[in-house]
């Protein structure tokens, strides 16, 4: 794959990444902004995500949701937005001949959204329903409980969606302030990938984003990690299945061992022939879904296994997962197993990168979060360098009792029954 991306930084700090690819007929425009739930104070927790919803409620040019989305629907375009802890993104993917429409649309919602009081109040109902959906879906809710267990009452431990009370109380002026303090050319990356001409795209973006705010943005609170013994969070709910996340604190995305950590996660639970899938699901039938992997942010990182298990057999599932953690730190993986994980990462990455929107995301997210872009070849080269000894060293470092965490949702009121299990 040719690495012909180009990064252009405008005088106001706006970064543009163009990734031309003549082998596709599509183009994707992604605007990525360096703000999310980790940038919020407690009193406005959930505002990044709420703001993302409000960008679809109309601009001066497209005054209603219908008028805003109809032009893209008419050409069969795909479009959406997403909010994480450290970024918020807006994107449109179109037949490349409609690039102007996509740029006009994305720049318009970023710069000219109206945030009308009546639309804010209406959208509150939608977001409260979104919260209820997550609360009713243990597989999703457990992800938030896991973060809360690790980071508690700091931004990293709060929900991206916020709380019901904050969402109900939030006012228009808080959106305007937040936009002013967190949306700027200084923390925005615009990536355009697909069948496009680099020079033309850069000039068009300059034109469409002329009015972007260029003031300094507020930074996020740094995460405090505090743990001296295994920690457990049990959320009582009458369920037919116990949903759990069991794992350890690990490394952030700047750590020199981040590639070894990714491979370790893949070997443990990255595919259907992984160690956890075989030992928990295939050999014992304890779970339908079981996976494991490394999650890394700029200032936090974990390696975590997720599973939905039989309520009667939770103990056995936990013991089996911990046993796999222990085994991989005590006995070196084989060269064959290491190579399989590397090939899996390479293959799935290449398949994923075929789409223009995936290319835009690959480059933009690196630039935004790390201020450095590694090409696919460079990334795969670093994965290739990881050795058997690296895997064992990392496993020994992270699989320790004082780094263990277990969050679960199920019909249990007593967390003491799990305390005695958390040994490694």
**What does the pLDDT look like over 244-291, one tens digit per residue?**
999 999 999 999 999 999 999 999 999 999 999 999 999 999 999 999
Q: Per-residue pLDDT averaged across 131-138, rounded?
A: 96
Q: Taking a C-beta distance cutoff of 8 angstroms, is the pair 305, 399 a contact?
A: no
Q: Is the pLDDT of residue 239 over 70?
A: yes
Q: Per-residue pLDDT averaged across 290-309, rounded?
A: 97
Q: Taking a C-beta distance cutoff of 8 angstroms, is the pair 139, 407 a contact?
A: no
Q: Taking a C-beta distance cutoff of 8 angstroms, is the pair 23, 193 a contact?
A: no
Model pLDDT for residues 190-208, shown as the tens digit of each residue? 999 999 999 999 999 999 9
**Rounded-to-integer distance, Cα 4 and Cα 18, Å:** 8
Q: What is the pLDDT of residue 326?
A: 98
Q: Per-residue pLDDT averaged across 327-332, rounded?
A: 98
Which two tokens mark 389?
Answer: 């000894």
CA dihedral 191, 195, 198, 203 (to 10 degrees): -80
Give CATH superfamily name and number for 231-419.
Metalloenzyme, LuxS/M16 peptidase-like (3.30.830.10)
Mean confidence (pLDDT) of the chain = 96
Q: Taking a C-beta distance cutoff of 8 angstroms, is the pair 298, 370 a contact?
A: yes
Model pLDDT for residues 204-216, shown as the tens digit of each residue? 999 999 999 999 9
Active site residues: 52
Q: What is the pLDDT of residue 417?
A: 87
**Rounded-to-integer distance, Cα 221 and Cα 169, Å:** 24
**Rounded-to-integer distance, Cα 10 and Cα 387, Å:** 41
Residues spanned by CATH 3.30.830.10 within the chain? 6-208, 231-419
Q: Considering the entire predicted model, what is its pTM?
A: 0.95
**Rounded-to-integer distance, Cα 209 and Cα 205, Å:** 6
Model pLDDT for residues 175-188, shown as the tens digit of each residue? 999 999 999 999 99
More confident position, 104 or 3: 104
Q: Taking a C-beta distance cutoff of 8 angstroms, is the pair 15, 367 a contact?
A: yes
Confidence category of residue 86, pLDDT binned at 50, 70, 90: very high
Q: How far is CA 372 from CA 112, 254, 336, 375, 412, in A?
A: 30, 11, 32, 10, 46
**Which CATH number is correct for 6-208, 3.30.830.10, 3.60.15.10, 3.30.70.2740, 2.40.260.10?**
3.30.830.10
**Rounded-to-integer distance, Cα 27 and Cα 95, Å:** 6
**Rounded-to-integer distance, Cα 384 and Cα 320, Å:** 29
Q: What is the pLDDT of residue 3?
A: 59
Reference 212, options 57, 106, 99, 117; nearest CA is 106
Q: Taking a C-beta distance cutoff of 8 angstroms, is the pair 251, 261 a contact?
A: yes
**What are the CB-based long-range contacts (under 8 Å, 24+) for 160-163?**
160/36, 160/37, 160/46, 160/48, 160/49, 160/83, 160/84, 160/85, 161/46, 161/49, 161/127, 161/130, 161/131, 161/134, 162/44, 162/45, 162/46, 162/47, 162/49, 162/50, 162/127, 163/45, 163/46
Reference 156, options 256, 298, 258, 49; nearest CA is 298
Q: What is the pLDDT of residue 1?
A: 47
Q: What percent of the chain has pLDDT over 70?
A: 99
């Amino acid at each position: 794959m040719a690495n012909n991306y180009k990064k252009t930084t405008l005088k106001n700090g706006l970064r543009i990444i163009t990734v031309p690819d003549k082998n596709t007929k599509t183009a994707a425009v992604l605007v990525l902004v360096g703000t999310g739930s980790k940038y919020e104070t407690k009193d406005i927790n959930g505002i990044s995500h709420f703001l993302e919803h409000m960008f679809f409620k109309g601009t001066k040019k497209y005054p209603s949701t219908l008028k805003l989305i109809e032009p893209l629907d008419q050409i069969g375009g795909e479009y959406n937005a997403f909010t994480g802890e450290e970024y918020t993104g807006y994107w449109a993917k179109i037949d490349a001949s409609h690039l102007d429409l996509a740029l006009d649309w994305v720049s318009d919602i970023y710069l000219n959204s109206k945030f009308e009081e009546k639309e804010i109040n209406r959208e509150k109902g939608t977001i409260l329903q979104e919260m209820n959906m997550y609360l009713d879906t243990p597989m999703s809710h457990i992800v938030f409980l896991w973060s809360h267990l690790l980071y508690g009452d700091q931004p990293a431990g709060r929900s991206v969606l916020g709380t019901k009370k904050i969402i109900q109380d939030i006012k228009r002026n808080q959106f305007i302030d937040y936009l002013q303090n967190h949306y700027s050319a200084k923390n925005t990356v615009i990536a355009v990938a697909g069948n496009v001409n680099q020079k033309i795209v850069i000039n068009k973006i300059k034109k469409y984003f002329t009015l972007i705010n260029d003031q300094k943005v507020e930074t996020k609170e740094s995460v405090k990690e505090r743990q001296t013994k295994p920690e457990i969070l049990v959320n009582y709910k009458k369920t037919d299945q116990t949903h759990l996340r069991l794992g350890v604190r690990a490394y952030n995305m700047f750590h020199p061992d981040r590639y070894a950590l990714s491979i370790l996660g893949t070997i443990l639970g990255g595919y259907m022939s992984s160690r956890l899938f075989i030992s928990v699901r295939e050999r014992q039938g304890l779970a339908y879904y079981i996976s494991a992997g490394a999650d890394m942010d700029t200032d936090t990182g974990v390696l975590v296994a997720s599973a939905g298990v039989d309520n009667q057999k939770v103990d056995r599932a936990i013991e089996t997962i911990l046993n796999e953690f222990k085994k991989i730190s005590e006995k070196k993986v084989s060269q064959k197993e290491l190579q399989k994980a590397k090939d899996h990462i390479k293959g799935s990455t290449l398949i994923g990168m075929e789409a223009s929107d995936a290319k835009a995301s690959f480059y933009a997210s690196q630039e935004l979060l790390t201020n450095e872009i590694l090409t696919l070849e460079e990334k795969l080269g670093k994965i290739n360098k990881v050795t058997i000894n690296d895997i064992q060293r990392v496993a020994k470092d992270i699989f320790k009792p004082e780094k263990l965490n277990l969050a679960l949702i199920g019909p249990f009121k007593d967390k003491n029954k799990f305390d005695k299990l958390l040994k490694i």
